[in-house]
Amino acid sequence: MPINVTPIPGLSPEINDLRRRTADVVNAEVLPNEEKLWRSRRDANMSEDEIESSRRESIEVREQIKAKVFQAGLWAPHLPKEYGGAGLDFLSLAYMYEILAYGVGGPTLFGIAAPNSGNASILVKYGTEEQKQKWLLPLIAGEMESGFSMTEPEHAGSDPRSIETEAVRDGDDWVINGHKWFTSNGIDANFFIVMCRAVDPTGEFGSSGRMTQIIVPSATAGVNIVRGIGIFGHPTSDHCEIRYENVRVPMENTLGLVGQGHQAAQDRLGAGRVYHCMNSIGQMWRAFDLMVERTLVRQVHGGLLKDKQFIQGFIAESYMDLQSARLMTINAAEKVAHNDPDARTAISAIKVFVPAAYHRVVDRAIQVWGGAGVSNDLPLSQMYLTARVLRLADGPDEVHKILIAKNILHRYEDGEGWNFGT
């Protein structure tokens, strides 16, 4: 069924128009083509020739839809217009993402797929003009792919300051050695943004070991992709284990200043967490529609599912999960948009609450659909896995709960109560 989008009273005409135009593309272009768009990934029983021709057809349909997104002025909405994006503010993005994510693969079709979107935002903020020309513009144009390489198998990803990958200065070059894993998009990436500890024997950049992001082209000697890590029983994935072994890149590939790496990662993840939650809302909306639609037509034990009270409970609980997750996310986006000092707490709260609510809604939708729910015929099983991963990626639940509690406790220790009215 198409996503049901009508103007929201009180919202600006621009945002309402943006929502309508996004829904038009999703309903007219994405939903009717979902089978073709991602078919090659989903049907393993085809011959080699069939896979190849299906793959070509998928790419063609994707390109056609991307062209329509571009014509509608909706491509790369998170990036400034000068770099080929739509130049939308944070709140407009919030209201747009929940709609575009309703269609399977929506973020890719609108030019905001992770990790490229986060890397592009960081390049906009920290990149030199030369870096923008070389890496950012091709990334936005879809001519390049990228990865973000921070997590290491030997150290806790939930404590990013524990990383040990080193970039040692040698003349005008960095020489990088380190071991990373779960670098998403690693198979296709043309370059990685690698989080390193900078060591400069000349002392020009201050003390050793300061967190620094460095752009590393994937074709550089010493960038060794060990494997695509198999997850959830699949033999492989594009989340890669990579060894950086004596990788030499010029110092002009430093992204931002030496020592700015941690801040840049926080900038990226802060915004990214809101984006992930907005996308999750769109997918929950889709799962909800699929679930309710099914209850209207499926006969079990002499009656429709919609008339069984267990199932009515699923619908009511899913409505509450979706509505509360959505309102929390919009509130967090508003706080970010208004530079509210409590934005950080709100972001951590949605980062915990939304994936869990998403998980519950998809779980109920799968239950309603029975066996079909876990089949590849519906997007629900993929959503289920995505929701589970989101409880780990970009900071596991426990780390965010600690941050929420600390921020709240500080307020009370300072003699103030929490203000829920913002």
Ligand X SMILES: Cc1cc2nc3c(=O)[nH]c(=O)nc-3n(C[C@H](O)[C@H](O)[C@H](O)COP(=O)(O)OP(=O)(O)OC[C@H]3O[C@@H](n4cnc5c(N)ncnc54)[C@H](O)[C@@H]3O)c2cc1C
Is there binding between residue 226 and ligand X (CB under 6 A)?
no
Nearest-5° Cα angle at 35, 232 to 385:
20
- State in angstroms the smallest separation of the CB of 290 from ligand X: 24
- State in angstroms the smallest separation of the CB of 234 from ligand X: 11
Is there binding between residue 118 and ligand X (CB under 6 A)?
no
343: helix, strand or coil: helix
**By Cβ distance, which residue is nearest to ligand X?**
157
Is there binding between residue 115 and ligand X (CB under 6 A)?
yes
Out of 104, 109, 139, 150, point to the residue binding ligand X (CB under 6 A).
Answer: 150
- State in angstroms the smallest separation of the CB of 148 from ligand X: 5
Q: Which is nearer to ligand X, 59 or 402 (CB)?
A: 402
Contact positions with ligand X (CB under 6 A) in 234-253:
239
Contact positions with ligand X (CB under 6 A) in 2-41:
none
How many angstroms separate the CA atoms of 78 and 93, rounded?
A: 7
Map tokens 């915990």 to a residue.
352
Q: Which residues pair with 299 in a beta bridge?
A: 304
Out of 1, 67, 402, 405, point to the residue binding ligand X (CB under 6 A).
Answer: 402
Report the relative pairing of strands 166-170 and 191-199 from DSSP bridges.
parallel
- The torsion region of residue 163 among left (phi > 0), alpha (psi -120 to 50) and beta comes to beta
Query: How many helices (H) and strands (E) are present in the chain, helices listed first?
Result: 14, 10
Q: What contacts 254, CB < 8 A, 6 or more positions away?
A: 174, 212, 213, 214, 215
- State in angstroms the smallest separation of the CB of 211 from ligand X: 13
In this structure, the chain runs to a length of 422
Map tokens 């900038």 to a residue.
267
- How distant is the alpha carbon of residue 292 from its chain centre? 27
300: helix, strand or coil: strand
- State in angstroms the smallest separation of the CB of 31 from ligand X: 26
Stretch that binds ligand X, among 40-48, 53-61, 143-151, 282-290 (CB under 6 A): 143-151
Q: Which is nearer to ligand X, 33 or 184 (CB)?
A: 184
Stretch that binds ligand X, among 1-9, 53-61, 146-154, 203-211 (CB under 6 A): 146-154
- Which spans of this chain sit near ligand X (rule: CB under 6 A)? 115, 148-151, 156-158, 182-184, 239, 389, 392-393, 395-396, 398-399, 402
